[in-house]
Structure 1
Amino acid sequence: MTGAPSSLQDLRQRMGDTAKADKTKRFWGLYVHVGKLETLRVGYDLAKCNNGAPGIDGVTFEAIEAAGVDAFLAQLRDELVARTYRPLRDRRVEIPKDGGTKVRVLGIPAIRDRVVQGALKLILEPIFEADFHEGSYGYRPKRSAQAAVARVAEAITKNKTRVIDLDLAAYFDTVRHDLLLGKVARRVEDGEILHLLKLMLKASGTRGVPQGGVISPLLSNIYLNEVDAMLERAKEVTRNGKYTYVEYARYADDLVILVDGYRRHDWLLKAVDRRLREEFAKLDLRLNEAKSRIVDLARGEAFGFLGFEFRRVRSLRGAWRPQYTPQQKKRRALRAKLKEVFQRSQSQPIGRVIAEINPMLRGWVTYFRIGHAGRCFSFLKDWVEKRVRRHMMRARKRSGFGWKRWSREWLYTALGLFTDYRVQYRGHA
């Protein structure tokens, strides 16, 4: 881990190696490492990198730095050593889902609690990473959503065209604390660690893990790891040499399973669907049946995963290949955010507007450029350019778009409007 003291890096490496070598090993003596200043300092640095909003106590990073980070961390260490540390309640924040009317509730821990969560994650992560599976991508070291998307695309090229597209109902809100703590206890024999984790969970309510907590992604992967294990077994028991008839990819609670398209494997599709439902029932998780379905790409159907819409289309050479483009709801959400900036900034100079929209465009395009987004990007580029032109014309109390007044080159060179709409194709031609 870059930036961490060598002693902490060595500790994490040793724990990870031991966990890989002995899948039944239960670790003890971990709590003392969570409370060390070097661990808390890395936890603080990680929390500050994300630069989140303050928690329920209103304390900001600026206030902590003004009073002294060393004193802040020493106070946390003393509370952990004395066993008097108690996390504060999470601050609840509602954010709209993809620009629509529905909202997602985030639980924002206080910065002090984010630091302790980060320290605990630093100690637990290498142990549980040894147990996680290849199809799990969410919030794991050296893994990404784009890699999960590429895994799905690769499966489609290998004729895995029937897709079990499941939607878990309010997953993060329904995780049972007793089941989660039991899963952690299979690898952790340290009662103080389990007690600390229980305190953190109770701060978010009687059930669930907060979307916004530093340790929540790790806990989410621990909770769903047995689902991944079941899917790995399904791959292996049906394997034919190098070829597998089942593939899957999971990013947090977003899961898709792809099954071979030949009709002789109808039984496998039904068996995997049944076993998935059994595993979710063990975890006391509910499926959103209205959004859960089985998709057949060979019939021209499509499914969504991590913001992309997947289809199977013919290439110019006549071969079947995957096509994945930004979902319409993701496009609408981006345009809604951009519109809000333009409407809010009607009296502002165009340079200030561009400074605000450029990071939004850069982040969105960078994420989606791995797919077949050329047509989408072309539309978006023209749409943004027209909005910029209208903004400048309104400032002059004129109508139109100023096509003759400002060249396209001037917009992108002189004003610095974001222009890198290149697509990175991944060879599924």
Structure 2
Amino acid sequence: MIPHDELMNLLRKKISDRRFLRLIEVLITAPVIVGKETSSNVRGCPQGSILSPVLANIYLHHVIDEWFDEISRSHIHGRAEMVRYADDMVFTFQYPSEAKRFYKVLPKRLNKYGLELHEDKSQLIPAGHIAAMRANQSGKRLPTFNFLGFTCYWGKTRKGFWRLKFTSRKDRFAAKLKGLRDFLWKNLSTDKRQILNTVIRVIRGWINYHGISDNLETSWAVYLPKYANNL
């Protein structure tokens, strides 16, 4: 969780309006009330607040983005790239030795700013079309990883080229189907048009996010007919 002192020190370097800074400080340090007990709040941003994602992104931009941009130019050999959305991040390196070195340094960088690396959600894996081709030649496949609701894996295109592919996470898809089924069971007496509109809205939202070419032969095209009779 983000330490308030570190966050405010960073904001003071970028914002000169003291009244605005004070307003932010009041919002993020508001006491936490659980039942009849009130406790002080010195870390983290209020859940559900529209301000929280913005503040978290500002903080991580300094802690991760700017730092990685600096070390990738001055300390890392070969190509190094990063993709970050909120607190989900993927780092890629040309050389395995640089990836291993970075993996050791990253927790120290996070700890310096009051953050922690989720060991159970983090992994160091081989990647790239050359690694995928070599693994395939030995009858193996490269490890997959999850990112933003997708399972990422290396596969071949129709022309035989290796590239990173994406498919919807099976556990998320199963959870979405279960949610729809539970909704239908709980609303058996509800107006059918209202139920249909809700289901269409959920399906449309899923397709808008997951409707990518790698999902063409999976997701709704394959799974929905299978589960349609169970909804």
The answer to whether the Cα contact below 8 Å between 1:341 and 1:357 also exists between their aligned partners in 2 is: no
Partner of 2:181: 339
Q: Does 1:268 align with 2:111?
A: no
Residue 111 of structure 2 is aligned to residue 286 of structure 1: no
Alignment correspondent of 1:72: none
For the pair shown, the structure with the greater C-alpha radius of gyration is 1
Task: Show the counterpart of 1:247.
Answer: 81
Does the CA-based 8 Å contact 1:238-1:245 persist in structure 2?
no
- 1:178 paired to 2:8: no
Alignment of 1:228 onto 2:65: yes
- Separation of aligned partners in 1, 2:228 and 2:178: 15
Cα drift, residue 178 of structure 1: 0.2
**Amino acid of the residue matched to residue 270 of structure 1?**
K
Decide whether aligned partners of structure 1 residues 334 and 347 sit closer, same or farther in structure 2, where only a CA change above 3 A counts. Answer: same
Output one character per residue of 1:21-80: Cα deviation in whole Å (capped at 9) or x when no partner. xxxxxxxxxxxxxxxxxxxxxxxxxxxxxxxxxxxxxxxxxxxxxxxxxxxxxxxxxxxx
Letter in 1 for 2:59: Y
CA 1:373–1:353 in structure 2 vs 1: closer, same or farther (change >3 Å)?
Answer: same
Tell me what 2:167 maps to.
Answer: 325
List gaps (5 residues or longer) in structure 2. 33-40, 133-140
Instruction: Name the CA shift for 1:181/1:371 in 2 (closer, same or farther; >3 Å).
Output: farther
Contact kept? 2:103, 2:124, Cα under 8 Å: no
Cα gap change, 1:328/1:303 in structure 2, threshold over 3 Å: closer, same or farther? Answer: same
Are 2:27 and 1:200 equivalent residues in the alignment?
A: yes
Deviation sequence 1:77-132 (CA, Å, 0-9, x none): xxxxxxxxxxxxxxxxxxxxxxxxxxxxxxxxxxxxxxxxxxxxxxxxxxxxxxxx
Q: What is the identity percentage for the equivalent residue pairs of Structure 1 and Structure 2?
A: 26
Deviations 1:375-426 (A, max 9, x none): 22212431464356xxxxxxxxxxxxxxxxxxxxxxxxxxxxxxxxxxxxxx
TM-score by length of 2: 0.81
Residue type of the alignment partner of 2:11: V
Q: Say yes or no: does 1:350 pair with 2:186.
A: no
Distance 1:382 1:340 in 2: 18
Q: Distance in 2 between matches of 1:371 and 1:361?
A: 17
Amino acid at match of 1:213: S
Equivalent residue pairs, number: 208
**Greater RCO (Cα-Cα under 8 Å, separation 6 or more):** 1
Distance 1:177 1:285 in 2: 12
Distance 2:165 2:52 in 1: 32
Amino acid at match of 2:83: A
Residue type of the partner of 2:3?
A: R
Give 1:91's aligned residue: none
Structure 1 pair 349–191 and aligned structure 2 pair: CA distance change class (3 A): closer
Candidates 160, 185, 188, aligned match of 2:15: 188
Segments of 4+ moved more than 4 angstroms: none
**Aligned in 2, Cα 1:371/1:256: closer, same or farther, shift over 3 Å?**
farther
Aligned match of 2:46 = 210
Distance 2:96 2:223 in 1: 41
- Partner in structure 2 of residue 368 of structure 1: 210
How far apart are the structure 1 equivalents of 2:213 and 2:118?
A: 28
- For structure 1, the 5+ residue unaligned runs are 1-173, 389-429
Give the alignment of 1:62-141 within 5 angstroms. Answer: none
Report if the CA contact (8 A) 1:220-1:252 is conserved: yes
* CA gap 1:238/1:213 in 2 versus in 1, 3 angstroms: same
Flag the 1:216–1:322 CA change in 2: closer, same or farther, 3 A: same
Return closer, same or farther for 1:185/1:200 CA change in 2, 3 Å cut-off: same
Give the secondary structure class of the aligned counterpart of 1:355.
helix
Q: TM-score, normalised by structure 1?
A: 0.45
Q: For 2:23, give the aligned amino acid.
A: L
Report the counterpart of residue 378 of structure 1 in structure 2. 221
Q: Give a deviation string over 1:272-300, Cα, whole Å, max 9, x none.
A: 22332222011111222222211224342
Shift of 1:351: 2.5
How far residue 317 of structure 1 moved from its aligned partner, in angstroms, is 2.2
SS at match of 1:235: helix
Counterpart CA distance in 2 for 1:332 and 1:384 is 10
Cα distance in 1 for residues equivalent to 2:188 and 2:21:
53
Letter in 1 for 2:107: R
Asked whether the 8 Å contact 2:152–2:165 carries over to 1, the reply is yes
Aligned-residue CA RMSD in angstroms? 2.2
SS of match in other structure, 2:120? coil
Contact 1:311 1:323 in 2 (8 A): yes
Distance 2:8 2:69 in 1: 24
Give 1:304's aligned amino acid.
N
**One-letter code of the match for 1:206?**
V
